[in-house]
A and B are shown apart, each in its own frame.
Chain A
Amino acid sequence: MNFVWNGPMIAFYVLALSVLGAGILMLSVRKVVYMALSIGGVFIGAAGIYILLGAEFVAVAQILIYVGAITILMMFAIMLTNHKAEEEPFRWTVRNATAAVGSVLLALVLLAVIRSTTWPVQSANLNLNGGNSNPVAIGLVMFKQYAFPFELVSLVLIVGLVGAVILAQERKEEE
């Protein structure tokens, strides 16, 4: 491994540290509201890493959907149910110890797999005519090659909408 200290490298380490930090914060705070907020921090850091990888559209999607909508949804779900729930302080029990050993083993296995996998090198002649623009390239592929799957997405969304309506109606009848 040869480290080169250039801008992107530093940015990667800053972002990776902030993602890990927010993740650890999420596990260590005891109030559910704070947990949901620190998950938002993880999402923002992940968006930064996507930008670093050149996937600008995915990064914007991450911020729009995950930071903007999913985190809000989680906050709503928490505020609707037991918003004052707090976890017990951490204690070393047999169950927690086995969970810790299992997590460390899983991390080691994942690390070994990642290190031994040969990653495909990006081919120079990618067949995208979007030029430098990420959304244009995605749009050209999505609305030409994958026109039908795109229409199916609207079906999935409408299912979510109808489900929400039915949920709300049941509530209304209860009142």
Chain B
Amino acid sequence: MFQYWNDYFFVVLFLLLGIFLPVAAIWVLGPLLRPKHPTVAKNTPYESGVEPVGDAHVRYNARYYLFALMFVVFDVETLFLYPWAASFHQLGLFALTEMLMFILMLVIGLAYAWRKKVLEWS
């Protein structure tokens, strides 16, 4: 078990390094190196761009929700593919037909959505 945790020690190390490097670059090293002469024009969200209008937190179109739901469904499918792929060597053809049936069911679902024209934007 300790061997297992030792492996994850490196994961934690990389995680800490991954947090440390951008923080050090943006908040510590950056301000020391770069000149700082802010003007009103420089502080706009899009420099030399179009002035933003209104609030960024607008209410989205409800039809985006369909895509979120479909994303969850296919995310779960991906999850099942993972142990299947890992153990495929020891399972053989039976597992292949099993997974093909599983994917076929979801493809039918996708085809249904396609036929019903909910994936299209008018």
**Which A residues are closer than 8 A to B by beta carbons?**
7-8, 11, 33, 51-52, 54, 57, 60-61, 64-65, 68-70, 72-73, 76-77, 79-81, 83-84, 129-130, 132-133, 135-140, 142-144, 147, 150-151, 153-155, 157-158, 160-165, 167-169, 171-172
Pair B112/A161 contact, Cβ less than 8 Å: yes
A154 to B65, CA, bound (A): 21
User: How many B residues face the partner with a CB closer than 8 A?
Assistant: 51
> Which residue from chain B places its CB closest to the CB of A54 in the assembled complex?
B4
Q: A151-B98, A154-B102, A158-B106 are in contact. Are A164 and B69 (CB under 8 A)?
A: yes
Interface of B is mostly: helix
> Which residue from chain B places its CB closest to the CB of A156 in the assembled complex?
B76
> Which residue from chain A places its CB closest to the CB of B118 in the assembled complex?
A168
Most A CB atoms within 10 A — which of B5, B72, B90, B102?
B72
Q: A7-B9, A154-B101, A168-B118 are in contact. Are A69 and B75 (CB under 8 A)?
A: yes
Given contact pairs A70-B72, A171-B63, a sample of 15 additional A-B residue pairs in the complex whose CB atoms are under 8 Å apart? A54-B4, A73-B68, A73-B69, A76-B68, A80-B59, A133-B86, A136-B86, A139-B86, A155-B105, A161-B109, A161-B112, A164-B70, A164-B113, A165-B116, A168-B66
Query: Is B44 an interface residue, CB under 8 A from the partner?
Result: no
A162 to B83, CA, bound (A): 26
Q: A72-B71, A142-B83, A147-B98 are in contact. Are A162 and B112 (CB under 8 A)?
A: yes
Pair B60/A136 contact, Cβ less than 8 Å: no
Q: Can you offer 23 A-B residue contacts whose CB atoms are under 8 A?
A: A7-B5, A11-B12, A51-B8, A54-B1, A64-B78, A69-B71, A72-B71, A80-B64, A135-B86, A136-B86, A138-B83, A138-B87, A142-B80, A143-B87, A154-B101, A157-B77, A158-B106, A162-B109, A164-B65, A165-B66, A167-B65, A168-B63, A172-B63
